[in-house]
């Protein structure tokens, strides 16, 4: 039985959550927003129309999203009730061109975490380099790379499977990750630069101008726990400084890339004076929650589409309410 069917059946047994009750903050996580009909090899987000349905539904049930900063203020206010905050990680251009107009039109707000160093250097994140290599190669089969194993690459489905299978092999320190990507591109016969689909600084400036919150997301999107303390500090502090320089704003929030962090990371974000940091650990946040280890729940298309591929209010509300958290906890994230 597929995950979509399991979620559908679970949602039947679960009444939608109510907006009243003790204070709680649900933080929802998005990355990319695609044009309807767009079918990238590595799909890391929702279609524009699905995001619009999500925003309309949340507004309709009295849970129009706010920024993480505003959500934390709600938890600290002593008032009860459910509050939903929305986040976008990485800083893709489509966040500005597709998500931002929808948020403004629906009266919703969100926090955008920017990978400052990649934006500055116009460099594609490593998973985009991997997807681009798999999309561009003329090979129909790859042998000879020990970590990759013999892999069929004939057709889109085979390439998508290869990507999913290979992603965990890139949980490496930065230098090793680059070396492995280079070796793979070479083995696949791919040359040239991967196009960078992140926003430019000029484009990103529209986010704070629209009244949204901007947070930091490191310089180069490393797996932070694989870095030494100085490396972690440079990645985090560097991104805060660069955002201040380019956008003229102070970041108070941070998102751990891929959710990856350790005790050193926690110390660094506290020492830097950041008021919040979000993880990828699914769950709700209650008053007294550690503001540097905030739980956050994916709000993917899979969470909202029924087995026939139609947007389902019941599934979407069950996801917001945490009905599928247990399913997700078993799958740690590697990319994004
Ligand atoms: Zn990320």
Instruction: Tell me the residue range of the domain where 173 lies.
Output: 126-188
336 CA → ligand 1 middle, Å: 4
pLDDT confidence tier of residue 301, bands split at 50, 70 and 90: confident
Total domains in the chain come to: 2
Confidence of residue 324 (pLDDT cuts 50, 70, 90): confident
For residue 254, the CA-to-ligand 1 centroid distance in Å is 11
Q: How far does the centroid of ligand 1 lie from the alpha carbon of residue 90, in Å?
A: 5
Q: What is the pLDDT of residue 307?
A: 87
CATH of the domain at 254: 3.20.20.370
Instruction: Using the mean position of ligand 1's atoms as its centre, give its distance from the Cα of residue 292 in Å.
Output: 16
Q: How far is the CA of 283 from the centre of ligand 1 (A)?
A: 19
> What is the per-residue pLDDT across 68-79, written as a single tens digit (0 to 9) for each?
999 999 999 989
* Cα(302) to centroid(ligand 1), Å: 19
Cα-to-centroid distance, 138 and ligand 1 (Å): 29
115, 133: one domain: no
Quote the pLDDT of residue 237: 98
Indicate the pTM of the whole model.
0.94
Question: End of a domain among 155, 188, 221?
Answer: 188
Tell me if 146 is assigned to some domain.
yes
User: Which percentage of the chain shows pLDDT scores above 70?
Assistant: 93
Distance CA 110, CA 275 (A): 16
CA nearest 36: which of 47, 46, 45, 44?
Answer: 47
Ligand 1 ion: Cβ-proximal residues, 5 Å cutoff? 89-90, 257, 336
Ligand 1 center from residue 198 Cα (angstroms):
11
The pLDDT of residue 14 is 59
**pLDDT tier, 323 (very low <50, low <70, confident <90, very high otherwise):** confident
Q: Which residues neighbour 242 within 8 Å (Cβ) at sequence distance 6 or greater?
A: 116, 117, 120, 219
Looking at the fold, whether 139 and 38 belong to one and the same domain comes out as no
Any domain includes 295: yes
Q: Residues near 40 by Cβ (< 8 Å), separated by ≥ 6?
A: 34, 131
Residue carrying the six token digits 């000029």 = 202
Determine the distance separating the centroid of ligand 1 and the alpha carbon of 10, expressed in angstroms. Answer: 29
> 184 C-alpha vs ligand 1 centroid, how far in Å?
22
Q: What's residue 20's pLDDT? A: 73
Q: What spacing in Å lies between the alpha carbon of 217 and ligand 1's midpoint?
A: 7
Same domain, 84 and 180: no
Question: Ligand 1 center to residue 140 CA distance, Å?
Answer: 30
The verdict on 113 and 151 lying in the same domain is no
**Per-residue exposure over 91-130, b if at least 16 CB sit within 10 Å of its own CB, e if not:** bbbbbbebbbebbeebebbbbbbbbbbbbbeebbbbbbbb
15 C-alpha to ligand 1 centroid (Å)? 32
In the predicted model, is pLDDT for residue 13 greater than 90? Answer: no
- Spacing, Cα 235 to ligand 1 middle (Å): 13
Q: How far is the CA of 144 from the centre of ligand 1 (A)?
A: 31
- The reported pLDDT for the residue numbered 334 is 72
How remote is the CA of residue 79 from the centroid of ligand 1, in Å? Answer: 32
The answer to whether residues 100 and 230 belong to one domain is yes
CA distance 277 to 267: 11
pLDDT of residue 58: 96
Give tens-digit pLDDT for 112-136.
Answer: 999 999 999 999 999 999 999 999 9
Q: Ligand 1 centroid to 6 CA: how many Å?
A: 27
Tell how far the Cα of 249 is from the centroid of ligand 1, in angstroms: 20
Structural domain contains residue 321: yes
Shared domain for 102 and 238, answered yes or no, is: yes
Residue 3 clears pLDDT 80, i.e. is over it: no
Q: Do the domain assignments include residue 23? A: yes
- Whether 30 is in a domain gets the answer yes
335 alpha carbon – ligand 1 mean position (Å): 7
Give residue-wise pLDDT tens across range 135-162.
999 999 999 899 999 999 999 999 999 9
- 115 and 231 in a single domain? The answer is yes
For residue 336, give both structure tokens.
Answer: 């994004």
C-alpha of residue 40 to centroid of ligand 1, in Å: 18
């Amino acid at each position: 039985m597929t995950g979509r069917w399991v979620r559908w059946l679970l949602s039947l047994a679960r009444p939608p959550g109510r907006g009243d009750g003790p204070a709680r903050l649900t933080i929802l996580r998005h990355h990319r927003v695609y044009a309807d009909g767009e079918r990238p090899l590595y799909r890391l987000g929702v279609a524009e129309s699905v995001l619009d349905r999500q925003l309309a539904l949340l507004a309709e049930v009295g849970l129009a999203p706010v920024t993480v900063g505003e959500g934390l203020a709600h938890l600290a206010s002593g008032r009860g009730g459910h509050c939903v905050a929305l986040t976008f990680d990485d800083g893709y251009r489509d966040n500005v061109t597709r998500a931002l107009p929808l948020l403004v039109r629906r009266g919703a707000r969100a926090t955008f975490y920017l990978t400052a160093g990649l934006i500055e250097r116009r460099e594609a994140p490593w998973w985009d380099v991997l997807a681009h290599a798999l999309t561009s190669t003329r090979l129909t089969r790859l042998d000879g790379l020990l970590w990759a194993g013999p892999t069929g690459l004939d057709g889109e489905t085979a390439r998508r499977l290869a990507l999913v299978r290979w992603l965990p092999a890139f949980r490496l320190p930065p230098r090793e990750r680059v070396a492995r990507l280079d070796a793979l591109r070479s083995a696949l016969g791919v040359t040239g630069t991967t196009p960078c689909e992140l926003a430019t600084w000029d484009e990103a400036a529209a986010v704070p101008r629209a009244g949204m919150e901007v947070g930091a997301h490191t310089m180069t999107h490393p797996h932070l726990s694989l870095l030494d303390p100085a490396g972690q500090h440079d990645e985090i502090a560097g991104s805060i400084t660069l955002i201040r320089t380019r956008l003229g704003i102070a970041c108070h929030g941070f998102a751990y890339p891929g959710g990856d962090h350790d005790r050193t990371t926690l110390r660094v974000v506290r020492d830097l004076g950041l008021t919040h940091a979000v993880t990828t650990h699914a769950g709700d946040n209650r008053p007294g929650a550690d503001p540097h280890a905030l739980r956050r729940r994916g709000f993917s298309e899979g969470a909202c589409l029924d087995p026939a591929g139609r947007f389902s209010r019941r599934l979407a509300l069950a996801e917001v309410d945490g009905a599928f958290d247990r399913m997700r906890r078993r799958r740690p994230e590697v990319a994004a």
